[in-house]
């Protein structure tokens, strides 16, 4: 019998199922209270606005264009709208600095393909977004822990990468309300990150999927904005900004974007052409139609709802968690990160949680590139109302106490 495993490229061994995608199946079980899926609440989608957008596109002169092939760079009116939005964030740019991709996840895959040769090193946080590790893994990199606290020197990163058989190629992080921790990198940390990248002469991949979801505290300029201020213009920057409409408008349309210096965008366009020619034309048109009309109002609406759910979860954690458990207190986003006592295993705990307490979460080990973090877990508050959150935290606290926390 033909051996498929023998036929696969070596990179296939690095491809693993997402624990999160598997856990999403639990959402289909009505008896489970799930805090596992880091997904937006579908009740908050601007469904009527999109229904009107698709109807208007298909009924008008643009209908045929929406169903036709399009340019790889993306729908021009959408890119023009993004130019205005990036300007508000302190990033003056033009349409040639923007590529539309099929969700920012595709953008991460393209950036891994563009920068990583087998054996190269990517700097990531411990923990980091699992989807980024999945995207980069196919290109057979090594990982090193990205720290901006000053206890690692550029020389130590270079030496570790050389010993592993490659070079440091980029630093990846989510600076605002990171998945999975909910943490935000402060202004000093962002400047320290730029200093490190300059010393190493590497790129920075800034994952901005949650940037719009700030509930309190002062907004901090994106790393790309700070880079522009330092370098004098977007075409002189080393930061690649990955944005998405999935957390603000609708994830099912799979529309994201990359903002970067023109030489990088030109290379990414070639990658896009080879991969899928272009992102869905009609979906880009619909996003442009809706975003240009209601984006700010939509963001304000979801901020209000998610703020209330975050507050409810923080209050319930304080009420029900054992003293040995600590957690993050995010200023935005969708996640709270729990640290359990040493020796506890989140994956084993999940099996007991689903069986005995009918509550689900994501074990934290999968977010650690080095396989540590077994005693951590991620909770998402985006899809549960305050009453459900209160009941879920009651059950989780009871489970942890029974497990010896």
Record the pTM: 0.94
Of 316, 347, 310, 350, which Cα lies nearest the Cα of 329?
Answer: 310
* Those residues with Cβ within 8 angstroms of residue 54's Cβ, 6 or more apart along the chain or in another chain: 282, 286
360 neighbors 379 (Cβ within 8 angstroms): no
| Cα of 190 vs its chain's centroid, Å | 18
Helix (H, G, I), strand (E, B), or coil: what is residue 178? coil
Q: With 0-12 CB in 10 A as exposed, 13-18 as middle and 19+ as buried, what is 176?
A: buried
33 neighbors 393 (Cβ within 8 angstroms): no
Q: Any idea how long the chain is?
A: 405
φ/ψ of residue 139, rounded to 5 = -105, 15
Provide the residue-wise pLDDT of the chain in tens; the chain has 405 residues: 888 888 888 787 777 666 555 665 655 678 899 999 889 999 999 999 999 999 999 998 888 999 999 999 999 999 999 999 999 999 999 999 999 999 999 999 999 999 999 999 999 999 999 999 999 999 999 999 999 887 889 999 999 999 999 999 999 999 999 999 999 999 999 999 999 999 999 999 999 999 999 999 999 999 999 999 999 999 999 999 999 999 999 999 999 999 999 999 999 999 999 999 999 999 999 999 999 999 999 999 999 999 999 999 999 999 999 999 999 999 999 999 999 999 999 999 998 999 899 999 999 999 999 999 999 999 999 999 999 999 999 999 999 999 988
How far is 172 from 166, CA to CA, in rounded Å? Answer: 17
């Amino acid at each position: 019998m033909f051996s498929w495993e023998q036929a696969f490229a070596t990179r296939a061994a690095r491809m693993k199922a997402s624990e999160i995608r598997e856990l999403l199946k639990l959402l289909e079980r009505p008896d489970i209270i799930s805090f596992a899926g880091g997904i937006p609440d579908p009740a908050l989608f601007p469904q009527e606005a999109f229904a009107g957008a698709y109807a208007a596109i298909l009924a008008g002169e643009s209908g045929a264009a929406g169903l036709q092939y399009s340019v790889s760079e993306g729908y021009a009116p959408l890119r023009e709208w993004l130019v205005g939005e990036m300007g508000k964030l302190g990033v003056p740019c033009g349409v040639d600095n923007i590529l539309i991709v099929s969700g920012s996840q595709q953008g991460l895959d393209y950036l891994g393909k563009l920068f990583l040769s087998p054996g190269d090193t990517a700097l990531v946080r411990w923990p980091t977004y699992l989807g980024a590790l999945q995207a980069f893994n196919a290109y057979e990199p090594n990982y090193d822990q990205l720290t901006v606290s000053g206890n690692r020197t550029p020389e130590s990163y270079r030496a570790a990468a050389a010993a592993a058989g490659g070079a440091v190629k980029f630093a990846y992080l989510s600076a605002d309300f990171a998945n999975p921790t909910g943490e935000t990198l402060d202004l000093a940390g962002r400047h320290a990150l730029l200093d490190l990248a300059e010393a190493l002469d590497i790129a920075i991949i800034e994952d901005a999927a949650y940037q719009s979801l700030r509930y309190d505290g002062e907004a901090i300029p994106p790393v790309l904005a700070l880079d522009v201020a330092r370098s004098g213009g977007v075409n002189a920057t080393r930061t690649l900004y990955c944005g998405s409409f999935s957390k603000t408008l609708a994830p099912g349309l799979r529309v994201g974007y990359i903002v970067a210096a023109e030489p990088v965008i030109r290379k990414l366009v070639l990658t896009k052409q080879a991969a899928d020619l272009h992102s869905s034309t009609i979906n880009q048109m619909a996003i442009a139609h809706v975003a240009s009309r209601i984006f700010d109002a939509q963001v304000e609406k979801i901020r209000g709802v998610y703020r209330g759910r975050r507050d409810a979860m923080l209050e319930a954690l304080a009420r029900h968690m054992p003293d040995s458990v600590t957690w993050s207190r995010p200023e935005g986003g969708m996640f709270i990160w729990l640290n359990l006592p040493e020796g506890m295993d989140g994956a084993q705990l999940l099996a007991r949680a689903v069986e005995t307490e009918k509550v689900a979460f994501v074990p934290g080990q999968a977010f650690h590139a080095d396989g540590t973090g077994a005693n951590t877990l991620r909770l998402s508050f985006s899809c549960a109302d305050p009453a459900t959150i209160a009941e879920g935290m009651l059950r989780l606290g009871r489970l942890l106490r029974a497990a010896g926390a």
